[in-house]
Amino acid sequence: TGAMEFWAGRNGCTADLPASGSCTGRTGCEDGADVLYCEVEGMGHDWPASPVDATDVILDFFLGDPDQK
């Protein structure tokens, strides 16, 4: 997506993260950052709880869950 590519470029990311469900991303970014993008088909700009629990995804991302890398 445009937003993910923008942030990946801004953060100097060099590699793709393996796709996981409805999420994709980039790794190898400056300062060890990753860029993660999740999209639930057919859903607008809402905070999803199903089929992906956005709260769990964002917490795992910020806490550095190794399963997300």
Question: For 1-52, what is each residue's pLDDT tens digit?
Answer: 789 999 999 999 999 998 887 889 999 999 888 898 888 778 777 777 777 7
Asked whether the predicted pLDDT for residue 69 surpasses 50, the reply is no
Whole-structure pTM value? 0.63
How many alpha carbons lie under 13 Å from residue 66 in its C-beta half-sphere?
0
